[in-house]
Copies of this chain bind each other. A is one copy, B any other.
Amino acid sequence: MIALEKLRDRMAELSDLHSVEMLLHWDQLVTMPGEGAAARAQQLGVLARLTHERATGTEIGDWLSELDGVVTDELDRDIVRLARRDWERARRVPEQLAVDLARASADGQESWHRARAADDFGAFEGALQRNVELARAYGECVAENGDSPYDALLADYDFGLRTEDLRRVFGALAAALPPLVAQAQRRSPRRAFEVPVAPQEVAVASTLRRLGVDTASWRVDTSAHPFTAWLGRRDTRLTTRYIDGEFESLLSSLHEYGHALYERQVDEALERTNLGRGTSMSIHESQSKLWENHVARNPAFAEVLAAELGAGGYPITASDLHAALVGVEPSAVRVSADPVTYPLHIILRFELELALIEGELAVADLPAAWREGMRRLLGVEVPSDALGCLQDVHWGAGSFGYFPSYGLGCLIAAQLWETMQAELGPREDDLRRGEAVPIQRWLAEHVHRFGRRLDTIPLIKRATGRGLEIEPFLRYVTPLAEG
C-alpha cells in the first residue's frame, strides 16, 4: 500500500513541523530577545502557511480514498481515521486565515506581555480585538452539523465536547462550589509563610529530579507564565516561575511535569504519526492537575517537599506546608488559586470568552465584565487589570475554547485518582517516601500510551469504567473546605 506509506510520511513531516513550531514558541517565551518579536511573527506565519499547505493538500484526499476500507492493521486504521478527521477539518480553513491566525498569535502575545507589564489594557485591546475576530472567523469556517463557532473552537482542544456539555458540568460546579468556599472562609484565615526564592529553587529542582527529570532529555526554565513544550520524545522543556514569598512554584512545576510525563509516555510506536501526542487539552490538564492536586497537595508528599525546602535552608513542617498548599482563599489570580476556588476562575473565563466569540461582549467591555464576574462568582475585588483580565496569555495567543479544559482537567484528575487508588491501593505510603513510579506506570498503562487513539470521553470510560463525573472532584475538595 503505497498510499499508506505516503500518508505516514506526511504525518511524520507534519509532526516534525509541529515540533519546530513549538520550538519557535518556546524560544519566544523563554530565550528570545524582545525585539525579535516582529521577525518571529513572520517566521511563524511562514511555517503556518507551509504546514497548512502540507496538511490540506488534495493528495491526502487521494490517499485517504485509496485506503478507504482496505486497511486492516488496527494502528494504521487509527492513523487513517484521525488523518481523515484532521484533513477534512483543516481543509475548511482558507490558507490566508491560517497565516493571519499564526501572525496575530505571535503579535498578540508580544502585545499582551507589554500591556500586562504596564497594567494597561488599552495597549492590548487592538490585538485582542483582532484575535477575537480571527477566532470567530475560524470557528465559522470549521463548524459543522449545526455547531456554533464556539463549539467548533472547542473541538480543536477537546474533540467531541460541546458548549452545552460545558454549561451543564460548569453549571453544577458553580452551584456546588460556593457553599464549600463559604464554609472554608468561616475557618481561621490561611497562615502566611514568607518563603524566599532560593529554597523554592532547591526544592523544585530536587523534587523534579526525584520524578525522573534529568538534564539529558529535559530543560527547566523560568517564564512569565509556566508552560511545557515537547520537541521530541527526549526533548521536554518545562518552565516554572518563582515568586518571593509564595509556594506556587512547587505546585506549578509539578503541574507542568504532569503535562510533560503524558507526552513522554505515549506509546513509542505512535512516534512521528498523527497519534503520537496527548489526545485533548482536558486530558492533558487532567494529567497536570493530577500531579498538582493529588500529588503536590497530598499530605504525605508534603513530607518530601518540606524536607527539600529544609535542605534549601527554609525549615517548615509538613503539616504547615500542606495547610499552606491547600488553604482555601478566594483571590484574583487563577494560577495561584486553591483547588476549591480554581474551577470558579475557569467558569468566569468560559462565560467571557463564549460571550466574546458570540459577539455578546465587546472587547472594550472586558475589564468591567471581568470585575463583575469575579465579584459574582468569587466575591473578589480585582485590584488591577494586570491581576484581572490581563493575567493569562491565552487570549493574547488567540486561544479561545482552551480555558474550559482547565476545569475539566480538575474533574478528570480526581476521577482517575480515585480509580487508581481503588486498583493500586492508597498512595500515601509511597508518596511519603517520594516514590512515584507506580503512579507513572498506572498512568502510562491507562491514559498515556493511547496518544490520540482514544478521544476524551472514550478514554475516561476505558480508564475508569464511567463517563465524566463531578462527584470524585467534590469528594476531593470537600475535606479541604472542611479543614
Query: In the complex the two chains form, is A215's CB within 8 Å of B33's CB?
Result: yes
Residues of chain B within 8 A (CB-CB) of A38 are: 232, 234
Query: In the complex the two chains form, is B20's CB within 8 Å of A42's CB?
Result: no
Answer yes or no: A84 CB below 8 A from chain B CBs: no
User: Which residue from chain B places its CB closest to the CB of A219 in the assembled complex?
Assistant: B33
User: Which residue from chain B places its CB closest to the CB of A46 in the assembled complex?
Assistant: B16
Q: Give A32-75 as 1s and 0s: 1 = Cβ < 8 Å from B's Cβ atoms.
A: 11111011101101110110001000000000000000000000
- Whole-angstrom CA separation of A27 from B13 in the bound complex: 20
Using known A-B contacts A23-B27, A43-B20, determine if residue A33 contacts B233 with beta carbons closer than 8 Å.
no
Query: In the complex the two chains form, is B40's CB within 8 Å of A232's CB?
Result: yes
Say which residue of B13, B35, B215 sits within 8 Å of A234 (CB atoms). Answer: B35
Query: In the complex the two chains form, is A31's CB within 8 Å of B216's CB?
Result: no
User: Which residue from chain B places its CB closest to the CB of A21 in the assembled complex?
Assistant: B20
The smallest C-beta distance from A56 to any residue of chain B, in angstroms, reads 15
Answer yes or no: A183 CB below 8 A from chain B CBs: no
- Whole-angstrom CA separation of A378 from B217 in the bound complex: 42
Q: 3 tightest A-B contacts by CB?
A: A39-B232, A36-B235, A35-B234
A1-44: which have CB < 8 Å to B?
Answer: 12-13, 16-17, 19-20, 23-24, 27, 31-36, 38-40, 42-43
Residues of chain B within 8 A (CB-CB) of A27 are: 23, 27
Q: Give A271-286 as 1s and 0s: 1 = Cβ < 8 Å from B's Cβ atoms.
A: 0100000000000000
Interface size class of A (residues with CB under 8 A): 35 or more
- Whole-angstrom CA separation of A17 from B231 in the bound complex: 18
Answer yes or no: A218 CB below 8 A from chain B CBs: yes
Query: In the complex the two chains form, is B16's CB within 8 Å of A234's CB?
Result: no
Say which residue of B24, B34, B234, B272 sits within 8 Å of A23 (CB atoms). Answer: B24
Say which residue of B12, B34, B54, B233 sits within 8 Å of A216 (CB atoms). Answer: B34
The smallest C-beta distance from A214 to any residue of chain B, in angstroms, reads 8
Tallying the copies of this chain within the complex gives 2
Residues of chain B within 8 A (CB-CB) of A54 are: 50
- Whole-angstrom CA separation of A152 from B264 in the bound complex: 44
User: Which residue from chain B places its CB closest to the CB of A14 in the assembled complex?
Assistant: B46
**Sample (5) of A-B pairs whose CB atoms are under 8 Å apart:** A16-B42, A16-B45, A32-B235, A42-B232, A43-B232
- Whole-angstrom CA separation of A49 from B19 in the bound complex: 16
The smallest C-beta distance from A206 to any residue of chain B, in angstroms, reads 18
The smallest C-beta distance from A139 to any residue of chain B, in angstroms, reads 28
Query: In the complex the two chains form, is B218's CB within 8 Å of A33's CB?
Result: yes
Query: In the complex the two chains form, is B40's CB within 8 Å of A235's CB?
Result: yes
Residues of chain B within 8 A (CB-CB) of A272 are: 42
User: Which residue from chain B places its CB closest to the CB of A33 in the assembled complex?
Assistant: B217
User: Which residue from chain B places its CB closest to the CB of A234 in the assembled complex?
Assistant: B35
Q: Which residue among A32, A54, A232 has the maximum number of chain B CB atoms within 10 Å of its CB?
A: A232
- Whole-angstrom CA separation of A122 from B185 in the bound complex: 68
The smallest C-beta distance from A391 to any residue of chain B, in angstroms, reads 24
Query: In the complex the two chains form, is B19's CB within 8 Å of A219's CB?
Result: no
The smallest C-beta distance from A89 to any residue of chain B, in angstroms, reads 22
Using known A-B contacts A23-B24, A39-B235, A235-B40, determine if residue A46 contacts B17 with beta carbons closer than 8 Å.
yes
Q: Give A62-95 as 1s and 0s: 1 = Cβ < 8 Å from B's Cβ atoms.
A: 0000000000000000000000000000000000
The smallest C-beta distance from A12 to any residue of chain B, in angstroms, reads 8
- Whole-angstrom CA separation of A262 from B24 in the bound complex: 24
Residues of chain B within 8 A (CB-CB) of A34 are: 216-217
Residues of chain B within 8 A (CB-CB) of A215 are: 33
Query: In the complex the two chains form, is A39's CB within 8 Å of B219's CB?
Result: no
- Whole-angstrom CA separation of A318 from B110 in the bound complex: 44
Q: Give A206-225 as 1s and 0s: 1 = Cβ < 8 Å from B's Cβ atoms.
A: 00000000011111000000
- Whole-angstrom CA separation of A232 from B237 in the bound complex: 24
Residues of chain B within 8 A (CB-CB) of A46 are: 12-13, 16-17, 20
Query: In the complex the two chains form, is B50's CB within 8 Å of A231's CB?
Result: no
Query: In the complex the two chains form, is B231's CB within 8 Å of A39's CB?
Result: yes
User: Which residue from chain B places its CB closest to the CB of A233 in the assembled complex?
Assistant: B39
